[in-house]
Amino acid sequence: MHLSSQDSIRLLFVDDEIEFLETLRDFFSQFAHVRTADNAETALEILAEFKPDIIVSDQRMGVLSGIDFLQKSIAISPDSERILMTAYTDISNVVQGINRARISYYLTKPVDFHQLKLAIEQLTEANHLRHENDELIKELQESNADLEHKIAERSAELQNAYNLLQQIQTTREQMVRMAVHDLKNPLGNIDLVLSEFKRGGISTEDFQDLVDIAKQSAKIMRGLVEDMLTVAVLSQPQYQLHLDDVELKPILTAIASGFTQAALNKSITLKVSIPDDLPFIKADHQQLQHVIDNLVSNAVKYTPNGGEVVFSARTDGNSMLIEVKDSGLGMTPEDISHAFQEFRRLSARPTGGESSTGLGLFIAKKITELHHGGISIYSEGKDKGTTFTVKLPLG
């Protein structure tokens, strides 16, 4: 690297020969920002506010020698390069300068200015390369840190994907086991009905009873298959709701009407409280209907003959609350803690022999959460009824 007037390097010359010092300043001022000092003490004061790229010092000066001064300068300006000049060729000075003062060059007097200029150019080039190297190392470290962060993020994503696949696989295995178990009885019933038909000689009354058994068994099987398909769909990572502005009153009224006959069959009083001014909500019409249908179905199933089911809806601040309350079998604290687990059957059993897949509440919770809502259970215990509350955001 050749020094030019455009270079902005900073030099500090220290020598007790004033005339020589002035000559140095005049020569190098055309290439650099130059400061001078005629003793080590003054030079140390200059270093407090002027950090040179290169310090050039004579060895033989007043109180402090050049080596002593350069050694002290390390603490004040550690990044500066150091050149030592002396009229005496003493190998011990060279060794001390290298070991104690970190000198990079050692020049004998009388100093050849062009040789000194060459030394300064070489140190400046070395400094420039070192700074470039430091920047490259810094960039490399930052790139490595960024790469490590991305690798960690990707690893976490892959681990999450693996865990999800494991969960899906476990769910599928559970579904297969449950299907095998729960389909045995209805399939057995249908097989029995077909055997009776094959044998013949069935009275009209018995024939109708057998048809009813077959229809009920088919209904149980269909319900199980539908619930299993719903779980499979909702468990897909890419599944998305089909959101729309939904008017709740017609949905809730239709669901209530759909359970009128089931309630009458068990002499259950079905009370419906749905205001006319219920606002629209952003929801998936079909899936929301699935949630509420499940809850009302459970209430009717687990309420004994002569009981009561109250079905209501209202707003509460920025939320819509849909409540299904029954006077049925109630739930224990343990039942409540496990109620939303898939394939979980609770301690209570349907009061009229109705079927239950153990998936309804799991599906209801999953759909509610996809709507950024929640579902809660309240029961004072066995035989004290249960209240399910669905909370959905308005708007």
Task: Give the pLDDT confidence score for residue 171 in this predicted structure.
Answer: 66
Task: Give the pLDDT confidence score for residue 2 in this predicted structure.
Answer: 59
**Can you tell me which residue has the tokens 């060895």?**
59
Task: Give the pLDDT confidence score for residue 345 in this predicted structure.
Answer: 64
Edge-to-edge strand list for the sheet holding 269-273: 269-273, 308-316, 319-326, 386-393, 374-378
| Distance (Å, whole) CA 160 – CA 168 | 12
| Distance (Å, whole) CA 307 – CA 305 | 6
Q: Which amino acid is at 220?
A: I
| Distance (Å, whole) CA 49 – CA 98 | 25
Rounded mean pLDDT for each run of 10 residues along the chain, 395 residues in total = 64 93 91 91 92 91 86 91 80 71 84 88 86 86 87 86 77 66 69 77 77 74 72 75 87 87 89 86 89 88 90 89 90 85 65 64 89 91 90 85
Nearest to 327 by CA among 353, 346, 300: 300
Edge-to-edge strand list for the sheet holding 54-58: 33-37, 10-14, 54-58, 81-86, 105-108
Task: Give the pLDDT confidence score for residue 147 in this predicted structure.
Answer: 85
CA 332 to chain centre: 36
Q: Identify the helix (H) or strand (E) that includes residue 382.
A: none
Both tokens of residue 368?
A: 């509610």
Task: Give the pLDDT confidence score for residue 90 in this predicted structure.
Answer: 63
Task: Give the pLDDT confidence score for residue 186 in this predicted structure.
Answer: 67
Task: Give the pLDDT confidence score for residue 83 in this predicted structure.
Answer: 92
* Total-model pTM: 0.52
Taken in order of first residue, the domains within the chain and their CATH numbers are 10-111 (3.40.50.2300), 240-395 (3.30.565.10)
Task: Give the pLDDT confidence score for residue 267 in this predicted structure.
Answer: 92
